Amino acid sequence: MTSADTQDTQAVTPPPPPPAEITYTGQYSINPLGEVSFRKLCGQLPSVLRRIARMSWDVDRRAVLLLLVCQLVTGVAAAVLLAATASAMRPVLGGGSVADRLHAALPALLVVAGASALTRGSAAVSTYAERRITPRLTTVTDTALVEAVCRVEAAAYAVDGFADRQEAAEMGVIRTHVMVSDAQRFMSALVKMVTASGVLSVLNPLMLPLLLLAVLPAGVGAVLSARVDYEIHYANVADRNVRGMMRWWSTTPKYADEVRANGMTDYLLYWYRSLSERVDGRTLTAAPRTLRIALVSSVVGGVFLVATWAVLAWLAVTGRVALALAATAVVAVQTTLAALSQVIINGAAVFHTSLYLSDMQAFLDDAEARAPDRGELAVSAPVEEIRLDEVTYQYPGKDKPAVDRVSLTLRRGEILAVVGVNGSGKSTLTRLITGIYLADKGRVTWNGSDLARIAEATVWSRTGLVPQIFAQWPLRVRENVTLGQPRTFDDGEVWQALDAVGMREAVEELSQGLDTLLAREVFGGAELSGGQWQRLACSRALYRRPSLLILDEPTSQMDPRGEHAIFEEIKAIAGDRITIVVTHRLENTKVADHIVVMDQGRITEQGGYDELVHAGGIFAELLALSQDR
Ligand SMILES: Nc1ncnc2c1ncn2[C@@H]1O[C@H](COP(=O)(O)OP(=O)(O)OP(=O)(O)O)[C@@H](O)[C@H]1O
């Protein structure tokens, strides 16, 4: 190819498409902060603090009590400090020699030193107590989030915005790292501020309102900035969610071959960069807004602060306040000012946290509402019959059902094969039979009991499923077979399950046999081939000895030996259970007692293999196509 050819090719090649822009619709397009007033936001602080206290209380009561004692000590020490400063100032600024004046002030100065030491000591103990609470609080919230997601009805995953709200809730977990220390700093600054301002108003009632005016603009500014930050965060949630997923897909060794051999690296990096720039772009739009807020609040606050100092100077110069009191007032103003700033900074941080906590709580509540609530019935063993009566299921957002008025009876000892073109509803049907999804209309019964009324755990303890896309668990071989639910104390049954899929030799060759960690990314971990992973997925379904065994394309990656072994095993153990095989390899349906053919969610043909081969329907057509090479 000449360079001209290359240029030609480049000239006609379209540029890569940028990442899709995701826009929310419906209830999730509304920023919960959009309509909230500043006063209402400040009014939320007490309830947020109560919530943080409650969460901390559940984690470590003694540490919370310790924190409370420290707040009390901080308050008392601040009051003592100021009172002692005032009584030290009188002799220091009075008459006599320096030595005499210092001598007279010594007792008060010792109290000042003691109160300062107490303040420092209580700050150190507060930090200790906070560090006892925070890690456990983070673990508890993080685990609660993971558990909530694991426990929802699987159908929730298909609900629009579910994953994005989960992403938003993750931010709540991240904020738990700083939540207690922010709240603790806020409380201790508040206590200091109240005591110092109390002392100040005793010295001169005019000082306090002026001081408040000096700091209030900074408070308003901090809360408004937090609000802008959240607005940006809210606008970026969907993009950050997609970027997080894409990051994993681009960097996981699982897809490294596909990415490299198809020359996708540049595109993926371009994509990742574009999305990051879009997120940054939104974040940058906040910068001028927060700058304006900071400038205005600083200017207004500064003017009031100058006025405060001017009033103090005027009071001292005109003799309205004694010099010693004026000097104490300087210390009190400084203390109050520092405490007020801390109250505002940490108050804004607590408020900021509250936004993410609300997202987290809303998600946890939503997830709880989406957890199965099916009743207390248990499935009786053995499972003799599973029946589907006019079962219909439609995914959220889809305009037609994936499974449409399907009726079917499955009996113990039978093997059912389900075939049909892509998207005809086969996998959805298996989800309905196992109760992973509940039917929108019609009903699925196990031994006569409606799945909608049976406790799901009792159903799933009798189920073994090899899904089309199965997990390659980064666990040891043994756990990959038992899934952490060993049946016996020895490995006999594990080996039996591995033998059934012809995996004994491959496992024995691994450096640590059943103890080998199947995660190449981890030091000492091993990797299996695609077909070996699929054999392992089959072995774990067999290990469970389920009443209902479902194999969805179980041999798609296997060599003929593996495939033969699996189908021999299926036939051998079929007598004790109901077996369902979903497959596109129509030859494999010969093992089945009954075959159903699905098309657009409906069963369009059914019968035995020989019957369907000659029926002139979809089955015969698909079989003919599979043999036409
Ligand atoms: N999680 C989901 N959310 C929304 N729609 C889904 C979901 N899973 C499947 N569908 C839709 O439901 C229909 C049936 O899908 P299903 O996976 O049951 O088909 P299938 O017969 O198993 O297909 P295949 O042979 O390709 O595995 C399809 O239109 C598909 O797009």
Say which residue, 500 or 344, is predicted with more confidence.
Answer: 500
144 & 287 share domain: yes
Answer yes or no: is 35 within a domain.
no
Residue 1 — very low, low, confident or very high, per pLDDT cuts 50/70/90? very low
Nearest ligand 1 atom to alpha carbon 420: 21
Say which residue, 171 or 7, is predicted with more confidence.
Answer: 171
pLDDT in tens, 436-483: 999 999 999 999 999 999 999 999 999 999 999 999 998 999 999 998
337 & 392 share domain: no
Nearest ligand 1 atom to alpha carbon 396: 4
The whole-angstrom separation of Cα 194 and Cα 560 is 80
Q: What is the dihedral of CA 38, 43, 46, 48, to 10 degrees?
A: -50
Judged against a pLDDT cut of 70, whether residue 30 lies above it is answered with: no
Judged against a pLDDT cut of 90, whether residue 97 lies above it is answered with: no
437 & 339 share domain: no
60 & 193 share domain: yes
* pLDDT, position 583: 94
How crowded is residue 459: how many other Cβ atoms within 10 Å of its Cβ?
Answer: 24
Answer yes or no: is 286 within a domain.
yes
Q: 342, 369, 396: which is the final residue of a domain?
A: 369
Answer yes or no: is 25 within a domain.
no
The residue-averaged pLDDT of 38-66 equals 86
Q: How far is ligand 1, taken at its centre, from the CA of residue 428, in Å?
A: 6
Q: How far is ligand 1, taken at its centre, from the CA of residue 419, in Å?
A: 13
Judged against a pLDDT cut of 60, whether residue 339 lies above it is answered with: yes
Q: How far is ligand 1, taken at its centre, from the CA of residue 400, in Å?
A: 12
562 & 613 share domain: yes
pLDDT in tens, 346-375: 887 887 788 788 888 889 999 999 999 888
CATH of the domain at 156: 1.20.1560.10
Pocket test residue of 152, 159, 424, 430 for ligand 1, highest count of atoms within 8 A of CB: 424
551 & 613 share domain: yes
Percent of the chain with pLDDT over 90: 51
Judged against a pLDDT cut of 80, whether residue 7 lies above it is answered with: no
Answer yes or no: is 374 within a domain.
no
Answer yes or no: is 244 within a domain.
yes
Percent of the chain with pLDDT over 70: 95
Q: 337, 369, 401: which is the final residue of a domain?
A: 369
Residue 2 — very low, low, confident or very high, per pLDDT cuts 50/70/90? very low
358 & 447 share domain: no
Q: How far is ligand 1, taken at its centre, from the CA of residue 25, in Å?
A: 24
Contact between 315 and 326 under an 8 Å Cβ cutoff? The reply is yes
320 & 453 share domain: no
Nearest ligand 1 atom to alpha carbon 158: 3
**DSSP of 512-558:** TGGG-B--TTSTT-----HHHHHHHHHHHHHHT--SEEEEESTTTT-
User: What is the CA angle 178-180-182, rounded to 5?
Assistant: 65
The residue-averaged pLDDT of 303-309 equals 84
Please report the ipTM that was assigned to this predicted complex: 0.98
The residue-averaged pLDDT of 52-67 equals 93
Q: How far is ligand 1, taken at its centre, from the CA of residue 393, in Å?
A: 11
Nearest CA to ligand 1 atom 24: 422
Residue 254 — very low, low, confident or very high, per pLDDT cuts 50/70/90? confident
Q: How far is ligand 1, taken at its centre, from the CA of residue 80, in Å?
A: 72
Contact between 408 and 572 under an 8 Å Cβ cutoff? The reply is no
* Terminal C-alpha separation, the chain: 35
* pLDDT, position 23: 64
Answer yes or no: is 39 within a domain.
no
Ligand 1 pocket list (CB less than 6 A): 158, 395, 398, 402, 420, 422-428, 468
Please tell me the total count of domains within the chain. Answer: 2
CATH of the domain at 510: 3.40.50.300
Residue 333 — very low, low, confident or very high, per pLDDT cuts 50/70/90? confident
Q: 323, 342, 369: which is the final residue of a domain?
A: 369
Mean pLDDT, all residues of the chain: 87
* pLDDT, position 44: 77
364 & 391 share domain: no
Residue 556 is part of which domain span?
A: 385-627
Helix (H) or strand (E) holding 406: strand 403-411
Global model pTM greater than 0.90: no
Nearest CA to ligand 1 atom 27: 422
Answer yes or no: is 18 within a domain.
no
The whole-angstrom separation of Cα 207 and Cα 203 is 8
272 & 421 share domain: no
Contact between 225 and 163 under an 8 Å Cβ cutoff? The reply is no
56 & 84 share domain: yes
Answer yes or no: is 177 within a domain.
yes
334 & 460 share domain: no
